[in-house]
Amino acid sequence: MSNETFSRADICVVACAEAFRGDGELLASPMGTIPRLGARLAKRTFEPDLVLSDGEAFLVDDPGAAEPVVEGWLPYRHIFGFVWHGRRHVLMGATQIDRYGNQNISAIGDFQQPKVQLLGVRGAPGNTINHPTSYWVPRHGPRVMVEKVDVVCGVGYDRAAALGPRAARFHEIRVVVSDLAVMDFDTPDHRMRLRSVHPGVSVADVVAKTGFELVVPDEVPETRLPTAGELRLIREVLDPDGTRLQEVPG
């Protein structure tokens, strides 16, 4: 298949699925349309032991299926046990994120009198300190990829290091997937690194739309394309109505 066969949204679904590769029997908590599709795709293909929730009280084989198979019981009060034991991988959004992975979903501007009030800190601090965390950015731009976040919700590598090894021993930010690229923190000082660019996107495009200096390797590959089987699952089984195109158009 040629690159023209795939939408940018399809590429992003696969990139989000890849964030869960190697997790095995972990609770996947994807937030957003494309992250949820990515987790479902991963479970149906290369990560069959991944654990998914229906968002209420049950563990199911596929939360989006018409008649999902119930695999277990997980009321909300037990979620914290998964969090504190590191048995979870959350893929959540970021209104702002900086070069060390500090994330903001709380407020824009001065915290005492913000210009915009958002969700609040929510569970981001506990997530980032206790288990793997990844981020999804559907609109990669300098107002999201910022030099310094206005409020620290998810803890980045610099702040985790300042807490000391005992507090930060389970801290891991896996990847940042955006509509342009995939980033990680696989650098000596854990600054954000450009891992791959999506087809049709150049390294210069990503650099120009990032509000801080990314670590850019000498060679940056393209993000992996969907296989024919994955594309069929995405389009015919997981998202036949094309809701992913509302999050990443075109």
Contact 92, 28 (CB under 8 A): no
Name the CATH architecture for the domain at 3-242. Answer: 3-Layer(aba) Sandwich (3.40)
Q: What is the pLDDT of residue 2?
A: 44
* Rounded Cα gap, residues 171 and 105, in angstroms: 19
DSSP annotation string for 63-90? TTSSSPPEEEE--GGGHHHHHHTT-EEE
Contact 219, 195 (CB under 8 A): no
Q: What is the pLDDT of residue 78?
A: 84
Q: What is the pLDDT of residue 1?
A: 44
What integer best gives the mean pLDDT of the chain? 93
User: Can you list the residues of the chain whose pLDDT is less than 50?
Assistant: 1-4
183: three-class secondary structure by DSSP? strand
Q: What is the pLDDT of residues 1-49, one digit of tens each?
A: 444 488 999 999 999 999 999 999 999 999 999 999 999 999 999 999 9
Q: What is the pLDDT of residue 4?
A: 47
Q: What is the pLDDT of residue 64?
A: 87
Mapping DSSP onto H, E and C, the string for 9-65 reads HHHHHHHHHHHCCCCCCCEEEECCHHHHHHHHHHHHCCCCCCEEECCCCEEECCCCC
Contact 105, 153 (CB under 8 A): yes
Burial 149-164 (b: 16+ CB within 10 A, else e): bbbbbbbbbebbbeee
Q: What is the pLDDT of residue 3?
A: 46
Has this prediction a pTM greater than 0.85? yes
